[in-house]
Homo-oligomer: A and B are copies of this chain.
Amino acid sequence: MDTHKPLTGGLNQAQGRHYTFASRMAKTPKSFIREILKVTTNPEIISFAGGLPNPALIDVEGIRKAAAAVLEDDGRSVLQYSTTEGYLPLRQYIADRYKKRLGLSISPDEILITNGSQQCLDLIGKVFIDAGDHVSLERPGYLGAIQAFSLYEPVFHPVTLHEDGPDPGMLAHVLDTWPVRLFYGVPNSQNPSGITYTGRRRREVASVMKKTDTLFIEDDAYGELNFGGETMPSMREFLPDQTVITGSFSKILAPGMRLGWVVASREIMESIVIAKQASDLHSNYLSQRIAYEYLTRQDIDDHIRKIRTAYKNQRDCMIQVITEEFPESVTYTKPQGGMFIWITLPEGCSSMVVFEKALEKNVAVLPGSPFYIDGGGTNTLRLNFSNSSEEKIITGIGRLAKVIRGLCAISPCKNTSGQS
């Protein structure tokens, strides 16, 4: 009898049995965000902690019409089982949009519809990561990716993310030292930092990676929400065989429909299809059909322009209050898109203390440490600007500034120079 691993943790007399979980569960961080959001449900709290799109910018009426149309015209079909890859016309639409927006030639065969882009990360983990495999990602890195990949028990190698992109020297060193299966990055308006890689940095990263067999996982959840700068090329342009792109309708259409997609070469897609089928057969077909109906009947470009304008104003407002009211020792990013600003407090200032003090003043912020898999980041904060009105931003960031000023005044550390 195989007894190398105990089957149970022993019986608990009062509550019955205890089961031992797969070892991957011990390696997967509980979502700190999830825990934090629980304490911020009080409607009096102004929250910059979450990562929600502004619900006022969801085109409810357009989606309602699209839902009515597909259920009226083709109800029996849209409610039946469907294909694992997803609705072909929707995949063709996504392919056409890549051509139009970014000049990328992608076949619908290289696209699979997922249950939100978070599921892409799970599928990529399933397909590529054996326990002990090497995975690299930005530092700070997107928490959802850390969680998803952790379930496949890799060894993580973080690469410092500067204001212009990942450190190419550090990336080269990591890829030289370890057989890294994939590098995960968010080149456009990263979560959590808001940073967009410059064109130069993209080319440098690509040139480092080209010499290796490491895949670039390009999470492009925010590429359409670029309101402040040049549209940057996809990493696929530089690494055509080596890039897997993940995309999302959550930020441009509606998160509740849970629709994302993954773009990968046919060889990789073959494995992704098997993993997707084993995971949940296929994505919500009703939502796929509603999305396609919406995208072909409504002016999505006009809708995205509205979101961009609103988020730009919200970002401008938040940056203005930060610039005026935060101590000079605090640095922050100026994102050209997306939903987040990244705050770095003076060294030694604890963002957990800021979180607690701010909560006492009914303001919720997100401490940055969960975005660091190797510790660190204890003096960082993520602020979401997409889901607060300018009025709330002015009030909330004002209160936060007072908290930070109070703490920085008594902070033992010396002030560092601002990066912006």
Tell me the A residues contacting B by CB distance below 8 Å.
1-3, 5, 7-8, 15-19, 21-25, 28, 30-31, 34, 52-53, 55-56, 58, 60-61, 63-64, 67-68, 71-72, 75-82, 84, 114-116, 118-119, 122, 126-134, 144, 147-148, 150-152, 177-179, 181, 213, 215, 240-242, 250, 254-258, 265, 267-268, 271, 274-275, 277-287
Contacts and interface: CB of A to CB of B under 8 A. Distances in A.
B147 A278 contact: yes
A115 B24 CA distance: 22
A286 B268 contact: no
B115 A22 contact: no
A80 B255 contact: yes
Contacts of A116: 280-281
Given A63-B75, A119-B280, A122-B280, A22 B128 contact: yes
A267 B179 CA distance: 37
Contacts of A178: 1-2
A23 B122 contact: no
Contacts of A122: 278-280
25 contacts: A1-B177, A2-B179, A7-B213, A15-B267, A17-B213, A19-B213, A21-B271, A22-B127, A25-B126, A28-B275, A56-B76, A58-B75, A58-B79, A58-B80, A60-B79, A63-B79, A81-B250, A115-B258, A119-B280, A122-B279, A151-B275, A255-B285, A258-B283, A284-B287, A286-B287
Contacts of A147: 274, 277-278
B76 A179 contact: no
Contacts of A52: 80-81
A280 B22 contact: no
B257 A284 contact: yes
- Give how many copies assemble into the complex: 2
A76 B55 contact: yes
Given A55-B76, A75-B60, A76-B55, A21 B118 contact: no
Contacts of A56: 76
Nearest to A7: B179
Most chain B Cβ neighbours within 10 Å, of A3, A118, A242: A118
Contacts of A72: 64
Contacts of A19: 128, 213, 215, 267-268
A284 B256 contact: yes
A380 to B, nearest CB: 22
A289 B96 CA distance: 32
Nearest to A17: B241
Given A58-B79, A279-B279, A151 B128 contact: no
Given A31-B274, A118-B280, 9 more contacts: A2-B134, A18-B267, A58-B80, A60-B79, A68-B68, A115-B283, A147-B277, A257-B284, A258-B281
